[in-house]
Chains A and B, each alone.
Chain A
Amino acid sequence: MFTIPKMWEEFRESSDFVYLRQSNKNEQYLICFLKSITDTNTLNEQILEFISANNGLHFNELFEELPIAEKELSSDWDAIRNKLLVGYVAVQHAASAQTILLNASISKGRTVSKPEIEFNVEGSKEALVESLDVNLNLIRKRLPVASLRIKELQVGDLSKSRVVICYMEDITNEQYVQTCLQRIGDIQFDTISDITIIQQIIEDNSNSIFPQMLGTERTDRIVWGLTLGQVCILVDGSPNAILGPVTLEHFFTSYEDYFLPWIIGSIIRMIRITSVLFSILASAVYVAVLTYHGHGISNSFLPTIIASRINVPFPPVVEVLIMELAIELLREAGARLPSKIGQTIGIVGGIVLGTAAVQAALTSNFLLIIVALSAMASFTTPVFRMSNTIRILRFPFILFAQMWGLLGIFLCSVIVVTHLLRLTSLGMPYLVPFYPLRLKGLTDTVIRPPYSKLHHRPGFYRTKNPVRYDNRKSNLKKDIDE
């Protein structure tokens, strides 16, 4: 049987545990709560005042009349303790075996703010916050339909994190939801402090450097994904959500593409894909060409390269590795510092160090251009986790290029492609719609088509309802001057 004194014993070590006794004439109430997560206003103005104003009420009547929406009666030890831990107030009458549990929880978090990572020029400036309820509120507001399903699970023995799976009942393939539910249910890890932990645990292949779920902080992107048939997973305490299943190509599309006219959006998308390829391959090709295939450089270009490298004491591969590491260093340093100092560091490191390194003949200015460009190109990736992958992916290519020149680069790309081919995201092939080739799914990949062409959801999601809107109605063919 639960008694508050007993509870006191258990929580004695916690300074935020409050245990008070309120006596109304002859009625004695024992009240306890954790003050760190309890709203004292609610407590003082509604609960305590009500109790003192309504003395003489029977315990059960008191329960019914208390003006709190979330309340329950319980006598189960564990249930009461769990409720206390999330901000409930327990009220016990000395004479009763039952305990009233009243929700007076307070969540202190930041307000909805601008997206920091996925910053867009156009479009909404609304990003997820740490509070799950706020996040759900943001999503619900954008999708006011009954078919938006929100399933909640509790994960983590210690953190007791609330994990939520959102999907559209009439669109999303049931299989993906089941996979998510099952994998999240199977999580054994004790503290789930962020969505990335869930992501790493539930991914199809957790030994891959490629993210198989798309992390995002933008509510509009989440809603877009949900309406396409993706599943969205949120966790309390994380300002990010993950969307799945995804394909490789999703990581190179920014949601901003959809706000731009389709021709501009498509061109920007192509530039982005090219720059990613450049970012991965540029320094590897530099190593390969300068180490093995020097005679392939054109005559007019030769003096420029040789003149800039002639006093550099290292072989190209060492030179490239030093430069790549320097750039990574700048990046890490910039990321860990407050943004203003970060900028300064960037400028100092980039300009001063770069110039000095060339003048000291530690590197060729040609390489400096390549490395800086490829670093910049890697930032064009709109998804942060993918840009990390691309940074890392460069190094095996550089190593292979050092070993066998261009042949090595091709060998490495075969390995990477094989890896990508075997990857799946929640059971969906990672390279779809390119392999397996789905011609209809190709519409929204390299090219961002106009909205008149987006009348069907991509087939590879195997949605329950593939039609977004009936395009027959909108496709009236007009003649000239009609």
Chain B
Amino acid sequence: MTSRIQERNTVSPYLTFVIVHAMLFGIDFLLLTIKPVQMAGQDAWTAVLLCSAGIHIVIVMMYSFLNRHQTDLIHIHILLFGKWMGWMLNILFAGYFLLVTVYQLRLFIEVIQVWVFPEMKTWSLALVLLLIAFYIVSCGFRVIVGICMFSLLNTILFLTIFFMIPYFHFNNLLPAMSHSPHDIFGATKELTASYMGIEIIPFCYPFIKTPRKSQKWAHWGVLSMTFIYVVEVIFAVITFRPEQLSNELWPGLTKYKFIQFPFVERFEFIGSSVTVLRLFPIICLCIWVASRIMKFTFSIRQIRVLPVLLGVVFVATCFIPNRIGVDVVQSWIKLSGISVIFGYFPSLFLFDILRAKVKKTK
């Protein structure tokens, strides 16, 4: 049942770090800070830490059942739930990843439409982005991870917050811990959406050379992103008033409005164009997983199913007309992401343990 992946298609374990990092550093990073800061104000950073702790636990659970079965989630589903049930779950996951793709793609196009080219047509940019995505995905997993690595260059832009030092008001962090646990938990829930992306790990698992060793790197990936999130949240708190922040749509891009170089006076069009580097790893990995699921479910070649999936994504993207549409999809994604990460994986973990126990007693 388990399929062996040829060694030349696998990647080193440390690249799990890169995958996790790239998946978490998505387009919605740009609007990460609004809701948590609205809810928990200056204490939002504690929410980030809380959320990160939860994610670490989920990763431990995930690796527990992955290590036991030594294969990816597609096969585990069929192994645990039988053919039909597993089939259903796999299709659900494929749908979920396609939805994530659509969301990220549309969000990026919106960034471009708002910040760079207001008259850009949704379909034209979507078409070009998906064609490039097709090129990347058709080169295989190694190349996709390479693109993830390339996108890490984006992290350099994170340093631009040092341009903002003159506008920092450290007083804003005080008084610390003045929000109720209820507020902080609310902010934590909002932040879960930013940690979405780790659900890709169970599908990449067999493509990692020594998969057991990759768990450490997955944790490191989440840790480094936690650090970035915390800095970003603290930055937002000390630069903006919460009232100001609630008027913003893209605080991650607004911060580029403060940067000036001798030659370049506006940085936001650079900053918003660069986000394309964040987009590609996510959509490529998601489409790759979705097409892989299709490959095993319908036993067709991945390269055949790829254009079909891209077509579906293209049509779905074009049907989201505006800001409101994006918001609706965003709420779906949030709901499904939270239920997958904090609902489905832990219950799968428990089910797996129970099943192993029952087998042992038998």
Interface residues of A (CB under 8 A from B): 292-293, 295-301, 404-407, 409-411, 414-415, 417-418, 421-422, 431, 435-437
Cβ contact within 8 Å between A422 and B12: no
Across-interface contacts of B301 in A (CB, < 8 A): none
Cβ contact within 8 Å between B147 and A421: yes
Interface residues of B (CB under 8 A from A): 11-12, 14-15, 112, 116-117, 125, 128-129, 132, 135-136, 139-140, 142-143, 146-147, 149-150, 260-267, 269-270, 273-274, 276-277, 280
Nearest CB in chain A to that of B18: its residue: A437
Across-interface contacts of B274 in A (CB, < 8 A): 410
Cβ contact within 8 Å between B263 and A301: yes
Cβ contact within 8 Å between A406 and B264: no
Cβ contact within 8 Å between B146 and A407: no
Quote the shortest CB–CB distance from A42 to chain B (angstroms): 54
Complex alpha-carbon distance, A242 and B191, angstroms: 54
Cβ contact within 8 Å between B262 and A411: no
Cβ contact within 8 Å between B150 and A297: no
Cβ contact within 8 Å between A297 and B265: yes
Cβ contact within 8 Å between A436 and B147: no
Cβ contact within 8 Å between B277 and A414: yes
The listed residue with most A CB atoms (<10 A of its CB), out of B129, B261, B270, is B270
Nearest CB in chain B to that of A436: its residue: B12
Cβ contact within 8 Å between B128 and A411: yes
Across-interface contacts of B149 in A (CB, < 8 A): 435, 437
Which 4 A-B residue pairings sit nearest by Cβ, starting from the closest?
A421-B146, A298-B265, A296-B266, A407-B273
Cβ contact within 8 Å between A298 and B260: yes
Cβ contact within 8 Å between A297 and B264: yes
Complex alpha-carbon distance, A421 and B142, angstroms: 8
With A296-B269, A421-B147 as contacts: A415 and B14 at CB distance below 8 Å: no
Across-interface contacts of B267 in A (CB, < 8 A): 296
Which one of A293, A300, A406, A415 contacts B135 once the chains associate, using CB atoms below 8 Å?
Answer: A415
Across-interface contacts of B269 in A (CB, < 8 A): 292-293, 296, 405-406
Cβ contact within 8 Å between A422 and B143: yes
Nearest CB in chain B to that of A297: its residue: B265
Quote the shortest CB–CB distance from A432 to chain B (angstroms): 11
22 contacts between A and B (CB under 8 A): A292-B116, A292-B269, A293-B266, A296-B266, A296-B267, A297-B264, A298-B265, A404-B125, A406-B273, A410-B273, A411-B129, A418-B136, A418-B143, A418-B147, A421-B142, A421-B143, A421-B146, A422-B139, A422-B140, A422-B143, A435-B150, A436-B11
Complex alpha-carbon distance, A151 and B112, angstroms: 58
Task: Beyond the given A418-B136, A437-B12, please list 13 additional residue pairs across the A-B interface where CB-CB is below 8 A.
Answer: A293-B269, A298-B264, A298-B265, A301-B262, A405-B269, A406-B273, A409-B273, A410-B273, A410-B277, A418-B146, A421-B143, A422-B143, A436-B12
Quote the shortest CB–CB distance from A441 to chain B (angstroms): 13
Across-interface contacts of B11 in A (CB, < 8 A): 436
Across-interface contacts of A407 in B (CB, < 8 A): 112, 116-117, 273, 276
Complex alpha-carbon distance, A298 and B261, angstroms: 8
Across-interface contacts of B277 in A (CB, < 8 A): 410, 414
Complex alpha-carbon distance, A431 and B142, angstroms: 12
Across-interface contacts of A422 in B (CB, < 8 A): 139-140, 143
Across-interface contacts of B266 in A (CB, < 8 A): 293, 295-296
Nearest CB in chain A to that of B137: its residue: A418
Across-interface contacts of B139 in A (CB, < 8 A): 418, 421-422
Quote the shortest CB–CB distance from B57 to chain A (angstroms): 29
Complex alpha-carbon distance, A405 and B273, angstroms: 9
Across-interface contacts of A405 in B (CB, < 8 A): 116-117, 269, 273
Complex alpha-carbon distance, A409 and B116, angstroms: 14
With A297-B265, A406-B273, A407-B112 as contacts: A414 and B147 at CB distance below 8 Å: yes
Complex alpha-carbon distance, A263 and B267, angstroms: 34
Complex alpha-carbon distance, A300 and B267, angstroms: 16
Which one of A296, A406, A409, A410 contacts B265 once the chains associate, using CB atoms below 8 Å?
Answer: A296
Complex alpha-carbon distance, A407 and B272, angstroms: 8
Across-interface contacts of B142 in A (CB, < 8 A): 421
Across-interface contacts of B270 in A (CB, < 8 A): 296, 406
Complex alpha-carbon distance, A422 and B144, angstroms: 10
With A298-B260, A298-B265, A421-B142 as contacts: A414 and B273 at CB distance below 8 Å: no
